[in-house]
Structure 1
Amino acid sequence: MKIIVPMAGMGKRMRPHTLTVPKPLIPIAGKPIVQRLVEDIAKVCGEQVEEVAFIIGRFGETVEKSLVKIAESVGAKGSIYYQDEPLGTAHAILCAKESLSGPLVVAFADTLFKADFTLDSSAAGTIWVQRVDDPKPFGVVKLDDQGQITDFVEKPTEFVSDLAIIGIYYFQDGDYLRDELQFLLDNDIKDKGEFQLTNALENMKNKGTTFVPGRVTEWLDCGNKDATVFTNQRYLEYLRERGENLVSDSATLTNSIVIPPVYIGDNVKITDSVVGPHVSLGNNANVRQSVVSNSIVQESATVLNTNVTNSMIGNHATVTGVPHDLSLGDYNTLRV
């Protein structure tokens, strides 16, 4: 089994946090989004993952080494490919053409999920979906009476279905997928100006491939700051249900209260403060004389004499005396 992870997007809706790191490396409960995604897929695969291929922009050597380590953490080889132009989902996947063989999962790195199942590798193809109130921003599927997928529609302007594709796909035959993606590019077949995976899926279906929907217990989006903070909240709840230890032994609490679930990283210092619920504090964060709830505070950040909630505070950032809902990027300082 292989996992293919397209993650070359610029993450504009997550600025300022994506000005210094790619969106999939933003932490959720102490681990990058993409690491959580790879680990969760590895758990439901039901077999050993042999390779994780990441399709990225030119993010630099440090990022690439981090991604290879994520692959190695699930016992797999890590491969790096580049998408230098944003030409659509089909183009992004095809950038990893050398790795498109055998059974594989394609997972776009801006979503997490909660699931309690093992992947059925006997299916020709599985498309994970979730019912949504507004399907217009998503690709959607239509089903027949037998529960099989009959149509794929990319970002419908009129209602055709409310079953949104969440960005996770299983293909029994990666070589077949590669050939269908290549067909789109060779024949300049685009939808809304881009090469779309849904067009390849439609062609495969028309040739007799049976696709079935997969369902997840919960779909967690990481598309913008508020969504990412909410995903952090839900993921902390999920990890608590699994009984995971979320507080580092090297953290120091002085005259402070911690309200679980929270993630507290290595060498964090909390003094005269209340932290939680639903807070993630990255390694070496420092919280003093403050109340922090429902927030992500990244590595080496300082929160002093303030009250913050529904916030993201970047690496090495400093917040002092500003009681707000914040989105503060790396190395920034905000004080009153």
Structure 2
Amino acid sequence: MQILIPMVGAGQRFRDAGYRLPKPLIEVDGTPMIVRVVEDLPPTDRLVLVVNRQHVAEFHIDQVLRSYFPSADIVIAPGLTEGQACSVQLGIPALDPQESVLVAACDNTHIFDAEKFRRLTQTPEVDALIWTYRHEPRVLIHPQWYGWVQTESGSQGRVAQVSVKKPLSDNPLQDHVVSGSFWFRSGQLLAEGIERLLAANDRVNNEFYLDSVPAQLMKQGCQVRVMEVEKYIGWGTPADYEDYQRWSNYVHRRIARPAA
């Protein structure tokens, strides 16, 4: 399996909050965020990282990444793109078109059942997976920030509908929230989905979201299922990141405290 991670965004919220480093290089438990992301994902035989040209010029992010992942393919985006799907598209030429690919966000991690993920990827009729989570009260604050998934009743998680930035029900705590990771049966299938998205000019808030790609594939008869994780851990905003760090520091202090 291949892994592709786009990190082309400017990270404006972190800059506005006074952070100097670009978001992927901000430390999580003493390790650059993007390194923690990769380490927590399933094993891969090909890693493709799409980076922001400005972050290369100012922070040498390509050299930092190379020090941790010497064999990774690092693609430098010429500038900001029209959305995550376009950033992912820049990395597609580095993929094997026949091999499966997991596209992951650069600012979160998961606690997940690796065996369940393996079983789903080895189910022949499954063409794509949307990683999701539920029962997270934080989504109630700004439900319009998230992607949402509705599944068919009694279908083992088969996706019926995907809604980007718009909740699907009045009870969002019970609904599947898109975590930002997506698995595709092949690099070619991912490429075709993005091409269809762009051809349809299917934008949300004037951007092309990867969340919308599975819906494009479903229109072509592809089967998409959810890969529900046990716990989603997000660092995408300064508030989420700082909240995580407070709890992490507390836990580490408790562990280090000598027994009475």
TM-score (norm 1): 0.63
| Preserved CA contact (<8 Å) 2:10 2:80 | no
Task: Extract structure 1 runs of 4+ deviating beyond 4 A.
Answer: 16-19, 233-238
For residue 147 of structure 2, what is the amino acid of its counterpart?
G
Aligned pairs, how many? Answer: 237
Deviates more, 1:158-167 or 1:119-128: 158-167
For residue 47 of structure 2, what is the amino acid of its counterpart?
E
Q: Could you say which structure has the greater relative contact order, defined with CA pairs below 8 angstroms and 6 or more residues apart? A: 2
The equivalent of 2:146 in structure 1 is 138
Q: In 1, distance between residues paired with 2:72 and 2:80? A: 25
Identity %: 21
| Preserved CA contact (<8 Å) 1:17 1:23 | no
Q: In 1, distance between residues paired with 2:18 and 2:61? A: 13
The equivalent of 2:164 in structure 1 is 154
Q: CA deviation at 1:186?
A: 4.0
Secondary structure class of the residue paired with 2:144: coil
| Preserved CA contact (<8 Å) 1:143 1:150 | yes
Instruction: Give per-residue Cα distances to partners, 1:210-234, cap 9 Å, x unaligned.
Output: 1111122221111233311232355
Instruction: Give per-residue Cα distances to partners, 1:128-168, cap 9 Å, x unaligned.
Output: 11124423210110000112111111000663753110101
| Preserved CA contact (<8 Å) 2:148 2:163 | yes
| Preserved CA contact (<8 Å) 2:131 2:226 | yes
Secondary structure class of the residue paired with 1:4: strand
The equivalent of 1:87 in structure 2 is 82
For residue 95 of structure 1, what is the amino acid of its counterpart?
L
The equivalent of 1:109 in structure 2 is 106
Find the partner of 1:204 among 217, 220, 229.
217
Q: CA deviation at 1:29?
A: 0.6
More helix by share: 2
Cα RMSD after superposing both structures: 2.6
Gap change, CA 1:158 and 1:217, over 3 Å in 2: closer
| Preserved CA contact (<8 Å) 1:55 1:95 | no
Q: CA deviation at 1:25?
A: 0.8
Q: CA deviation at 1:185?
A: 2.6
Instruction: Give per-residue Cα distances to partners, 1:89-134, cap 9 Å, x unaligned.
Output: 2111112121243211101112122224243232422111112442
For residue 231 of structure 1, what is the amino acid of its counterpart?
Y
Q: CA deviation at 1:11?
A: 1.6
Gap change, CA 1:182 and 1:261, over 3 Å in 2: farther
For 1:1-336, what aligned pairs fall within 5 Å after superposition? 1-15=1-15, 20-41=20-41, 44-45=42-43, 48-60=44-56, 62-72=60-70, 76-82=71-77, 84-100=79-95, 101=97, 102-118=99-115, 119-120=117-118, 121-122=121-122, 123-131=126-134, 132-133=136-137, 134=140, 135-145=143-153, 146=155, 147-156=157-166, 159=169, 162-233=175-246, 259-261=253-255
Q: In 1, distance between residues paired with 2:200 and 2:158? A: 28
**Structure 1 portions without partners, runs of 5+:** 241-258, 263-275, 277-336
For residue 168 of structure 1, what is the amino acid of its counterpart?
S
Q: CA deviation at 1:178?
A: 0.7
Q: CA deviation at 1:172?
A: 1.4
Secondary structure class of the residue paired with 2:69: helix
Secondary structure class of the residue paired with 2:37: helix
